[in-house]
Amino acid sequence: MRNNTDINQEIIETAKKIINDEIDPIKGARFIVDNRFELETHVDEKLYDFLIAFVSETELMPIEENRKRYSKAYLLRMNEEKEGYFLKVLEKVKKSCHNLIDAIEK
C-alpha cells in the first residue's frame, strides 16, 4: 500500500516525464488529476486547472493501453486530432507540470 509521500513522488515523477517527453501527456495528466487529492503537500487547486481542462479535452483520445479496442481508421483520425491539439497546448501542459513540481517540493 502506498502512502501520501509515495504519491507525492509519483506525481512529481509523472510531471517530469511529461516535461521530458517520456510519457504520453494524456496518460500522465490523467494520473496527476486522478491522484491530486491524495497529496501529502497542500497545493493550490488552481495549479491543476489547466491539467484538468486538458484531461477533459482529451477524454475521448485513446491511450496506449486501450488503443487495441479501436479501429485503424478511428486511431488515424484521433492521432491527427491529437497532434494538432498538442501543437496548441503541450507547452502549457509542461508549464503546468513545472508549476506543480515547484509547489509540491516547497
CA distance 106 to 49: 20
C-alpha cell at 89: 497546448
Is the separation of the CB atoms in 18 and 97 below 8 Å?
yes
pLDDT in tens, 36-73: 999 888 889 999 999 999 999 999 898 888 899 999 99
Instruction: Tell me what the pLDDT averaged over the chain comes to.
Output: 93
The overall pTM is greater than 0.85: yes
Burial of residue 22 (number of CB atoms within 10 Å: 0-12, 13-18, 19+) = exposed
